[in-house]
Amino acid sequence: MIRVLVADDQSLVRIGLRVLLDSEDDMELAGEAVDGRAAVELVRRTQPDVALLDVRMPQMDGLEALRVITADPQLATTKVIMLTTFDLDEYVFEALRAGASGFLVKDTEPQELLRAVRVVASGESLLSPSVTRKLISAYVSRPATALRLHPQLSQLTDREREIVALVADGLSNEEIAARLFISPATARTHVSRAMIKLHARDRAQLVVFAFQSGLVSGDAD
């Protein structure tokens, strides 16, 4: 059973998500919060598998709530999906850097949201190739974008650097395997080792570290 927490200051959004989650046999609502501070307290108390956090909330916004959650080692098993009003919301990049497993716009189709919850609960990230490319394009188009090398970047082998760059280009493990003429299991192992060395919570954060450190050029199309 996937336990999901919902945090949004709009009652209609919370009601809609509650009804949607209750309709699924493999999901249950772990709780509801109307602001970021309440969301953090509820996550600590219930330790859900997935938390759906609205980016903009009173008291404490979703981004700050995310930082508090991801900084707590006792909440390492809780994955966070940020809910935004617009695709590529201005806070999306910061949310992914802070450890969010992905983001969804609020007008996402119900079945797509349910699929997203299942994907994140299984340990994967929500960054599809198209979303990854859009993120990179948005990031590198910022004025005065400066590299921020990850302190553990030097711990990666040349092969791991190569694979992390391919992850950041939006390739799946199977696509990486085909590109490098290795098995999907080997690609998966390299990705996992890179995540451990860079202390990335998931694949989404690995992507952020990659183009912050200059492992990808950002010439997405």
pLDDT digits (tens, 9 = 90+) for 145-202: 556 777 888 999 999 999 999 988 878 889 999 999 999 999 999 999 999 999 888 7
Say yes or no: 115 and 142 in one domain. no
Say yes or no: 54 and 121 in one domain. yes
| Domain's final residue, options 96, 126, 156 | 126
Using the structure block, give the residue that is written with the tokens 């912050």.
212
Say yes or no: 29 and 99 in one domain. yes
**27-33 and 79-84 strand pairing:** unpaired
Say yes or no: 8 and 108 in one domain. yes
- Residue 184, domain CATH: 1.10.10.10
- Residue 46, domain CATH: 3.40.50.2300
Range of the domain at 175: 138-212
Say yes or no: 7 and 92 in one domain. yes
Using the structure block, give the residue that is written with the tokens 């990705």.
191
| Predicted pLDDT of residue 142 | 62
| Domain's final residue, options 103, 126, 149 | 126
Say yes or no: 15 and 117 in one domain. yes
pTM value? 0.77
| Predicted pLDDT of residue 173 | 87
User: Does a structural domain hold residue 25?
Assistant: yes
User: Does a structural domain hold residue 61?
Assistant: yes
Number of domains forming the structure of the chain: 2
Would you place residue 141 in the very low, low, confident or very high pLDDT band (cuts 50, 70, 90)? low
Using the structure block, give the residue that is written with the tokens 């909330």.
57
| Predicted pLDDT of residue 88 | 57
User: Does a structural domain hold residue 132?
Assistant: no
What average pLDDT does the structure give for the chain? 86
**CB 66, CB 58: distance < 8 Å:** no
**Which residues make Cβ contacts (< 8 Å) with residue 108, sequence separation at least 6?**
116
Q: Is residue 2 helix, strand or coil?
A: strand
> Does the pLDDT value for residue 129 go beyond 60?
no
Mean pLDDT for 101-124 is: 88
| Domain's final residue, options 126, 154, 187 | 126
For 147, the token pair is 């590299």
